[in-house]
Amino acid sequence: MTNPHAGSTHPHWKVSLHGGHSSGYCDHATSTLAEMLDAACDAGMRVYGVTEHAPRVEPERLYEEELALGWDIETLERLFAEYAAELDRLKLEYAGCLTVLKGFEAEVVPEGNYADVMLGFREKYSFDYIVGSVHYVAGHIIDYLPGSYEKAVAICGSPEALAVRYFQDVARMVTTLHPEVVGHLDLYRRRFASDEAASTPPIRRAAMEALEVIRENQSIIDVNTAGLRLGFGYPYPAPWLVTAAREMGIAFCFGDDSHNTGQVGAGINDAREYLMSLGVTHIEALEPGTAGLNRKTIAL
């Protein structure tokens, strides 16, 4: 099919490395993968990394919505395999419009062997890269299921202790998976009433330790516009984390973390202004090379 967007030009910095969750493969997304890529073209994206959620492999981690659809863990992996195959096809189909990267968003469950599971997915389906994210703390998801965050807090002892453990889990995930991108670095923040409560001295110490691991691994931090959609006034991560990471020489990228076409590219302009206001002058992109993806530093 002829790509109606062929020949489009794009600002050099319009790159998202964390986006494109789609309705065929994610129960809480509402647009198809092709619709998401059409929207990326319309939004003027130059490089668009599609990073569908990795399938959960434990039956107890299925969502109620998935159970209502009749899905099981075999369904999740079958859909993930279909996602990988469709993305291979669409990368070629949309080449005249934008560079599409084949990624997935890894997870820290099963707790005992998530590295084997996630790295196994990467090899089996020949993914270009991984976005490493932490959604689970103490075995409970902290941003999605009603009541699950409260269970994690009860295990950790307090919201502050949960945030400390969250950053410890981020550091462990980076050491274990070596992801090219670290997703929404301070996801726990959505459960805190204020920036002050979310950045106490113990939380900051744990965050600095996680940042050191990210720096050693040379991972890129996702400046994730979902924070804007949630009404925080700025993307993930918070200003104090951006400033600390910048001072450590850690690179940043943009991610729209989109789950429908209206979210594709949304907030990227604001995220650019946000980084520049904090003294960040460049972002990092991933682009296809002869032996895998190459990193490219781009001025804002």
Q: Could you give the CA distance from residue 60 to residue 56 in angstroms, rounded to a whole number? A: 9
pLDDT number for residue 129: 98
Q: Which of 284, 297, 268, 108 is nearest to 187 (CA)?
A: 108
* Spatial distance between the Cα atoms of 160 and 178, rounded to a whole number of angstroms: 26
Domain boundaries, the chain: 15-299
Per-residue pLDDT of 189-225, as tens digits, reads 999 999 999 999 999 999 999 999 999 999 999 999 9
Residues pairing with 49 in the sheet? 101
Chunked into runs of 10 residues, the chain (300 residues) has average pLDDT values of 47 93 94 97 96 97 93 97 98 95 97 96 98 97 91 98 98 98 97 94 98 98 96 95 98 97 96 98 94 94
Query: Residue 237 CA to chain centroid, in angstroms?
Result: 12
pLDDT of residue 9: 54
Contact yes or no for 227/3 (Cβ under 8 A): no
For 104, the token pair is: 């997935």
**Rounded distance between C-alpha atoms, residue 280 and residue 300, angstroms:** 8
User: What is the DSSP secondary-structure string of the chain?
Assistant: ---TTTT----TT-EEEEE---TTT-TT--S-HHHHHHHHHHTT-SEEEEEEEPPP-SGGG--HHHHHTT--HHHHHHHHHHHHHHHHHHHHHTTTT-EEEEEEEE---STTTHHHHHHHHHHHTT-SEEEE---EETTEESSSSTTHHHHHHHHHSSHHHHHHHHHHHHHHHHHHH--SEE-STTGGGGG-SSTTGGG-HHHHHHHHHHHHHHHHHTPEEEEETHHHHTT-SSPBSPHHHHHHHHHTT--EEEE---SSGGGTTTTHHHHHHHHHHTT--EEEEEEEETTEEEEEEEE-
| pLDDT value of position 10 | 64
Please tell me the distance from the alpha carbon of residue 143 to that of residue 290, in angstroms, as a whole number. Answer: 38
In tens, the pLDDT along 231-240 reads: 999 999 999 9
pLDDT of residue 228: 96
Instruction: Indicate the pTM of the whole model.
Output: 0.95
Superfamily of chain region 15-299: Metal-dependent hydrolases (3.20.20.140)
